[in-house]
């Protein structure tokens, strides 16, 4: 499936703090962010639409 980039504006100090504390727990910021976006997709996109999109990706 084709990937696209998502960009948001966020406070620089807060973002650096997130990354710092996540790295202390051996967590990857991008991976965690992708999980959150996946959960939004599952929460808001109807199941039949998700199924259709999955079928198109085959």
pLDDT-based confidence at residue 57 (cuts at 50, 70, 90): confident
Reported as type and span, the H/E element at residue 25 is none
Mean pLDDT of 16-30: 98
- Residue 7: phi and psi, rounded to 5, are -130, 135
> What pLDDT is recorded for position 9?
98
> Torsions phi, psi of 25, nearest 5?
-100, 15
Per-residue confidence (pLDDT) for residue 2, from 0 to 100: 87
pTM above 0.85, yes or no: no
Query: What's residue 58's pLDDT?
Result: 74
Q: Is 1 or 44 the better-scoring residue by pLDDT?
A: 44
């Amino acid at each position: 499936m084709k990937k696209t980039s998502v960009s948001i504006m966020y406070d620089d100090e807060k973002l650096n703090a997130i990354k710092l504390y996540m790295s202390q727990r051996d967590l990857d910021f991008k991976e965690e962010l992708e999980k959150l976006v996946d959960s939004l997709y599952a929460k808001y996109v109807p199941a039949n639409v998700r199924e259709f999109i999955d079928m198109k990706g085959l």
